[in-house]
Amino acid sequence: MESNQEIQNQVEFLYHETAKQLYKLALYTLGNRKVAEQITVNAFCEAFNTISDKTDVNLFKERSIKLLYKHGRKIQKKSEWNGCTIPVKTSEDIGGQAGVKKKELIQMLGSLNFDERYILLLYYCQEFSIQQIAKAICLPVFLAKKRFGVTVNKAVKYMKTFALL
């Protein structure tokens, strides 16, 4: 049995390696700080309690990202959101000063639905492969690949429409 100090060290290690990335993924997907904090903590705790090798950062990260998706989908589907997408607001809501390009990218993300934002963020920010994305969102690879293609086309169309490309 592990001592309290060993468990604390494992939690601190995983926190330092993954917490900021997980929070940013939740925040950019949901566009709400409070909700992003809540689901990040829930996913972090649940992943920590369910993985066997607490020293494997990649395993922990993959499990956490899968749980972020699961919890985010639940929140997105709740009646208070009325089934619509949660807009990613401004750079102020994301925090800090954002450059023009970052602000435009945030606006583009706001034009996408939850699944589309999550897929793009996993691919471009987390550098996930299509196979890893499929695993994270519980879809067969061919469907994840199709959704990724549709999402990229939708994002490019948005960017062209607003002369951002």
Q: How far apart are CA 36 and CA 39, in angstroms?
A: 5
How far, in Å, CA of 145 to CA of 131, rounded? 8
Q: Are residues 120 and 154 in the same domain?
A: yes
Of 60-74, 126-140, 149-163, the poorest mean pLDDT is in 149-163
Tokens standing for 120?
A: 């793009």
Could you tell me if residue 19 is inside a domain? Answer: yes
Statement to judge: residues 78 and 107 lie in one domain: no
The C-alpha atoms of residue 116 and residue 53 are separated, in whole angstroms, by 31
**Do 126 and 158 sit in the same domain of this protein?**
yes
Given 34, 59, 84, the domain boundary residue is 84
In tens, the pLDDT along 74-95 reads 988 874 444 344 444 544 444 4
State pLDDT tens for residues 37-66: 999 999 999 999 999 888 888 999 999 999
Angle at 78 between CA 43 and CA 59, to 5 degrees: 20
pLDDT band at 109; cut points 50, 70, 90: confident
Average pLDDT over residues 95-111: 69
- Of 25, 52, 84, the position where a domain reaches its end is 84
pLDDT of amino acid 162 = 76
What DSSP letter does each residue of 52-103 carry, written as one string?
A: S-TT-HHHHHHHHHHHHHHHHHHHHHSGGGTTS------HHHH-S---HHHH
What dihedral do alpha carbons 124, 125, 126, 130 form, nearest 10°?
-20
**Domain count along the chain:** 2
Looking at residue 44, what is its pLDDT?
94
Amino acid at 123: Y
Give me the pLDDT at residue 163, please.
Answer: 67
Please tell me the predicted confidence (pLDDT) of residue 165.
55
Q: Which two tokens stand for residue 131?
A: 């196979």
Can you give the residue range of the structural domain that contains 46? Answer: 1-84
Are residues 105 and 61 both part of a single domain? no
CATH of the domain at 143: 1.10.10.10
Burial zone of 47 (CB within 10 Å; 0-12 exposed, 13-18 middle, 19+ buried): buried
How confident is the prediction for the chain on average, in pLDDT?
Answer: 84
Report pLDDT for 62: 93
- What pLDDT is recorded for position 99? 55
Please report the pLDDT score of residue 115 as a whole number.
93
